[in-house]
């Protein structure tokens, strides 16, 4: 496992304040939105991760980077990790989080999304949204003059993918050339992981039941990026084949939030896609198990795998905070307040 020592060595190679990817991303991303992981180039993704590693190692350097910045979290769906990692993250950089529960009053119902945007931008510096419709996020982004961040929609979960690939870098040193396998529903998490994986040069294999493949536009885009980056995207309906030679096997719930009415129908369809010890044994010996969480224990993954030695699920959860801190620093121009960057 890529230990703290490895990360410290890597950090020592090129100081973050001189890293050209980080400096270019700081200039390009200030004031931008993150609706899709596809909004980021390969070098911007690498920049977020490099900064995320530094934030994790040296949190005190960033203690006042976002002093007095206000972040609103407007969530139409439940959350543990995303809410708390954003709140703790901004609090540890001097900013403040305001949680606005939209679970009983979906965005756009009481007033138009454009009008919400034109109000909220007057009070806060960044809007973090968790929604059903992906269009709610793009519409907010089109109308707000402050950055809008997708904290999960029905179509994508970009912040999750940033943390997950940061975790893979931590574990393996680099994501480039890794065999990354996702088995289960071709859903929001799957979409963001596919795009993030190929941006970083990983070979991405997706194993889903028939009828539950990822969106064709995402597949096409991922294949285009993969071609540029010398890696590949494979789709299969055979979970065992998907797991062969994998360095990482990732799964998610087969019933996402908002799809609960399909639970009974989906359970038998997804049973062959359960990640259990037999499936893990098809992967490489060094393989890790990943899950965005929350997990439905002994449905999409067994206890033995989730709690086993190959599982890195809680490192993923921890890294949500560090990766999002890096993202917020770049979107809000926070590096200007970090001494080592402004010298
Ligand atoms: N992985 C994730 O987004 O978790 P929450 O739904 O708890 O935020
Ligand atoms: N696919 C899941 C992810 C939860 C973090 C959902 O949308 O409910």
Mean pLDDT of 72-86: 98
Does domain 14-156+320-335 match CATH 3.40.50.1370? yes
Q: What is the pLDDT of residues 94-110, one digit of tens each?
A: 999 999 999 999 999 99
Asked if the model's pLDDT at residue 76 lies above 80, the reply is yes
Q: What is the pLDDT of residue 13?
A: 75
Q: What's the rounded Cα separation, in Å, for the pair 99 and 97? A: 6
Instruction: Report pLDDT digits (tens) over 273-324.
Output: 999 999 999 999 999 999 999 999 999 999 999 999 999 999 999 999 999 9
Nearest CA to ligand 2 atom 2: 256
Q: What was the pLDDT predicted at 270? A: 98
What radius of gyration do the chain's Cα atoms show? 19
Task: Locate the ligand 2 atom nearest the alpha carbon of residue 81 and give its number.
Answer: 5
Q: What pLDDT score was predicted for residue 78?
A: 98
Atom of ligand 1 nearest to the CA of 78: 6
pLDDT digits (tens, 9 = 90+) for 254-266: 999 999 999 999 9
pLDDT for the residue numbered 7: 57
Q: Where are the domains of the chain?
A: 14-156+320-335, 160-317
Q: Which residue would you say has higher pLDDT here, 35 or 8?
A: 35
- This prediction has a pTM of 0.96
Q: 14 falls in which pLDDT band (50, 70, 90)?
A: confident
Looking at 3.40.50.1370, 3.50.30.40, 3.40.640.10, 3.20.20.480, the CATH number of the domain 160-317 comes to 3.40.50.1370
* Domains 14-156+320-335 and 160-317 are alike in CATH topology: yes
Q: Which ligand is nearest to the CA of 156?
A: 2
Q: Which two three-digit tokens encode residue 198?
A: 């190929």
Q: Is 178 in the pocket of ligand 1 (CB under 6 A)?
A: no
Which listed ligand is nearest to 163 at the C-alpha? Answer: 1
Does any ligand 2 atom lie closer than 6 A to the CB of residue 256? yes
**pLDDT computed for residue 116 by the predictor:** 98
Q: Which atom of ligand 2 is nearest to the CA of 187?
A: 1
Banded model confidence at residue 8, pLDDT cuts 50, 70, 90: low
Is 84 a pocket residue for ligand 1 (Cβ < 6 Å)? Answer: no
pLDDT grade for 342, boundaries at 50, 70 and 90: confident
The Cα 164–Cα 320 span in angstroms is 8
183 three-class SS: strand
Residue 3 pLDDT > 80 = no
């Amino acid at each position: 496992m890529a230990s703290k020592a490895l990360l410290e060595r890597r950090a020592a190679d090129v100081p973050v304040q001189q890293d050209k990817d980080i400096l270019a991303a700081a200039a390009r991303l200030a004031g931008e939105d993150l609706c899709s992981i596809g909004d980021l180039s390969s070098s911007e993704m690498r920049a977020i991760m490099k900064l995320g590693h530094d934030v994790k190692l040296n949190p005190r350097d960033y203690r006042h980077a976002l002093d007095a910045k206000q972040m609103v979290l407007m969530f139409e769906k439940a959350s543990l990790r995303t809410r708390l990692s954003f709140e703790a993250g901004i609090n540890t950089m001097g900013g403040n989080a305001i949680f606005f529960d939209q679970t009983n009053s979906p965005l756009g119902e009481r007033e138009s999304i454009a009008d919400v945007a034109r109000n909220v931008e007057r009070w806060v510096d960044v809007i973090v949204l968790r929604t059903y419709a992906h269009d709610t996020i793009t519409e907010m982004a089109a109308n707000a003059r402050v950055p809008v961040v997708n904290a999960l929609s029905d179509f994508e979960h970009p912040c999750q993918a940033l943390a997950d690939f940061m975790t893979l870098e931590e574990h393996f040193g680099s994501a480039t050339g890794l065999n990354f396998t996702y088995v289960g529903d071709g859903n929001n998490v799957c979409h963001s992981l596919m795009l993030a994986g190929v941006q970083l040069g990983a070979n991405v294999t997706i194993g889903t039941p028939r009828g539950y493949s990822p969106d064709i536009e995402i597949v096409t885009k991922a294949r285009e990026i993969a071609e540029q980056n010398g890696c590949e995207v494979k789709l299969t309906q055979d979970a065992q084949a998907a797991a062969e030679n994998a360095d990482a096997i990732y799964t998610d719930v087969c019933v996402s939030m908002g799809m609960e009415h399909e639970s009974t129908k989906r359970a038998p369809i997804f049973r062959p896609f359960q990640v259990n010890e037999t499936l893990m044994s098809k992967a490489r010996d060094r393989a890790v198990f990943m899950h965005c969480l929350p997990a439905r224990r002994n449905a999409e993954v067994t206890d033995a795998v989730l709690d086993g030695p190959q599982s890195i699920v809680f490192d993923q959860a921890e890294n949500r905070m560090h990766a999002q801190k890096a993202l917020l620093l770049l979107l809000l121009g926070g590096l200007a307040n970090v001494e080592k960057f402004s010298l």
